[in-house]
Amino acid sequence: MTSITSFHPPVRTLMGPGPSDVNPRVLEALARPTIGHLDPAFVGMMDETKELLKYAFQTENKLTMPVSAPGSAGMETCFSNLIEPGEKVIVCQNGVFGGRMKENVERCGGVAVMVEDAWGTAVSVDKVEAALKANSDAKIVAFVHAETSTGVVSDAQALVALAHQHDCLTIVDAVTSLGGSPLKVDEWDIDAIYSGTQKCLSCTPGISPVSFNERAIAKIQNRKTKVQSWFMDLNLVMDYWGSGGQRSYHHTAPVNALYGLHESLVILQEEGLEKSWDRHVANHEGLKAGIEAMGLSFFVAEEDRLPQLNAIQFPEGTDEAKVRSELLNRYSLEIGAGLGPMAGKIWRIGLMGFASNQKNVLHCLGALDAVLSEMGADIQSGKAVSAAMKVFS
């Protein structure tokens, strides 16, 4: 066979829906010496990681930990532990990831009652209320806080309060919101929540932070049936991610990946959670000014818009895939395509974590302006960067 040599990836600016640019401090942390996953030093770092995650989630939940797998496994951890066969779950769908929630419910043997809203709009509290009234035997309400496929944020606090009025637990997808948008697990009384490390935390992909409150833990501990997944059964994992002292062996944790998560959470703590939320908004405002000065528009109404995930409508007749290819090949800049029904209709521009900065905003606007102008697109050329600069200054 042909001799294969070491892989050296190109240097990219990642402004798609994820992963985002990884902070150099995180990359350095990943290269630190590997130690045993039950080494006392590593156990101490695990305790620190739990405390840092509690800060990021704004919770005191004792069962707050990173699942040793990407955000999709965090989702499955929540659903497989909280749903038993035959239970009815209200599932809110306004994008791709609500559909994945439905799939999880059904694979757990549950019955999904769908509440559907148009893609690009927030989950309707009124529709959820109607579904709860029509299904008084529902046990859980599941929804996406920040829908990555469209860049929409829904009112998590209102949805959780409504669910609790009908004696339902809640499962919340916060993969794109954690660290980038206001998220207050305890204040909003969220029962179970999952996220990912590769978005606003600016860590590498492959770990999913989760958190469960006492109501959720009680349901897990009093199940009538076994959790369908051995690996994700929190009755087993709880003892591994306990506080200090002896831990029962469950699996070999991804040691170096957890070094990276620990470092990313230290960086978030140093900046301050509220300042991180404000930074994402400020950079979104700069991007917004440039996009609109160019003559382009946003897919999502301003009141429902995520600052860290921007869905942009491109000029009619534009070969959107060619634009993305040109940005990648000529400017080493990655932006995302639409998913599902939005494929070929929008671009998704991420401003997440370490990638959410003025330099990236200006680079993206300048490159997009140049490529679209060269392709003869109907835009206001030469105005985007200066419009963003006015916002930043």
Asked whether residue 249 falls in the same domain as residue 278, the answer is: no
Report the mean per-residue pLDDT for the chain: 96
Inform me whether the pLDDT recorded for 175 exceeds 60: yes
The predicted model gives 160-169 an average pLDDT of 98
Residue 14 lies in a domain: no
Residue of 237 and 122 predicted with greater confidence: 122
Residue 15 lies in a domain: no
Burial of 334 (0-12, 13-18, 19+ CB in 10 A): buried
What's the confidence (pLDDT) of residue 237? 83
367-389 pLDDT tens trace: 999 999 999 999 999 999 999 99
37-64 pLDDT tens trace: 889 999 999 999 999 999 999 999 999 9
Burial of 116 (0-12, 13-18, 19+ CB in 10 A): middle
Residue 172 lies in a domain: yes
CB 212 within 8 A of CB 80: no
Asked whether residue 388 falls in the same domain as residue 321, the answer is: yes
CB 60 within 8 A of CB 83: no
Inform me whether the pLDDT recorded for 351 exceeds 60: yes
Q: Which residue has the tokens 């998220």?
A: 183
Give the whole-angstrom CA distance, residue 42 versus residue 311. Answer: 40
What's the confidence (pLDDT) of residue 252? 87
What's the confidence (pLDDT) of residue 236? 87
What's the confidence (pLDDT) of residue 28? 98
Inform me whether the pLDDT recorded for 247 exceeds 80: no
Burial of 184 (0-12, 13-18, 19+ CB in 10 A): middle
Give the DSSP per-residue string, 5-72. Answer: ----PPP-EE-SSSPPPPPHHHHHHHTSPP--TT-HHHHHHHHHHHHHHHHHHT---SEEEEESS-HH
Asked whether residue 298 falls in the same domain as residue 336, the answer is: yes
Task: Using the 3D structure, point to which of 219, 243, 269 is the last residue of a domain.
Answer: 269
Q: Which residue has the tokens 């998560």?
A: 261
Inter-residue long-range contacts of 218-225, CB under 8 Å, 24+ positions, other chains counted: 219/82, 219/169, 220/81, 220/82, 223/84, 224/84, 225/84, 225/85
Burial of 275 (0-12, 13-18, 19+ CB in 10 A): exposed
Asked whether residue 326 falls in the same domain as residue 181, the answer is: no
Asked whether residue 81 falls in the same domain as residue 224, the answer is: yes
- The pTM is what? 0.96
Residue 13 lies in a domain: no
Rounded-to-10 torsion of CA 53, 55, 57, 59: 110
Asked whether residue 41 falls in the same domain as residue 153, the answer is: yes
Asked whether residue 241 falls in the same domain as residue 357, the answer is: no
81-134 pLDDT tens trace: 999 999 999 999 999 999 999 999 999 999 999 999 999 999 999 999 999 999
The predicted model gives 274-296 an average pLDDT of 98
* CA neighbor of 191 nearest in space, from 221, 168, 207, 225: 168
Residue 197 is given by DSSP the state S
Residue 163 lies in a domain: yes
The predicted model gives 284-302 an average pLDDT of 97
What's the confidence (pLDDT) of residue 29? 98
Asked whether residue 207 falls in the same domain as residue 321, the answer is: no
Asked whether residue 55 falls in the same domain as residue 192, the answer is: yes
Task: Using the 3D structure, point to which of 234, 269, 304 is the last residue of a domain.
Answer: 269
Asked whether residue 63 falls in the same domain as residue 143, the answer is: yes
Asked whether residue 201 falls in the same domain as residue 279, the answer is: no
Domain of 296: which CATH number?
3.90.1150.10
Inform me whether the pLDDT recorded for 206 exceeds 90: yes
Domain of 69: which CATH number?
3.40.640.10
Find all residues with CB under 8 Å of 48, minimum gap 6, and list them: 262
The predicted model gives 213-236 an average pLDDT of 94
CB 269 within 8 A of CB 279: no
What's the confidence (pLDDT) of residue 243? 52
Within 13 Å and on the Cβ side, how many CA atoms surround 262?
A: 19
Phi then psi dihedrals of residue 194, to 5 deg? -135, 155
The predicted model gives 63-73 an average pLDDT of 94
What's the confidence (pLDDT) of residue 242? 62
Inform me whether the pLDDT recorded for 244 exceeds 60: no
Residue 280 lies in a domain: yes
Two tokens, residue 193: 């929540």
Inform me whether the pLDDT recorded for 160 exceeds 80: yes
What's the confidence (pLDDT) of residue 251? 87
Full domain range(s) for residue 339: 273-392
Residue 12 lies in a domain: no
Task: Using the 3D structure, point to which of 249, 269, 289 is the last residue of a domain.
Answer: 269
Residue 359 lies in a domain: yes
Q: Distance between terminal CA atoms of the chain?
A: 57
Inform me whether the pLDDT recorded for 165 exceeds 80: yes
Give how many domains the chain has, as a whole number.
Answer: 2
Helix (H, G, I), strand (E, B) or coil at 331: helix
Asked whether residue 139 falls in the same domain as residue 212, the answer is: yes
Inform me whether the pLDDT recorded for 296 exceeds 80: yes
Cα–chain center distance at 234: 21
Please report, rounded to a whole number, the percentage of residues in the chain having pLDDT higher than 70: 98
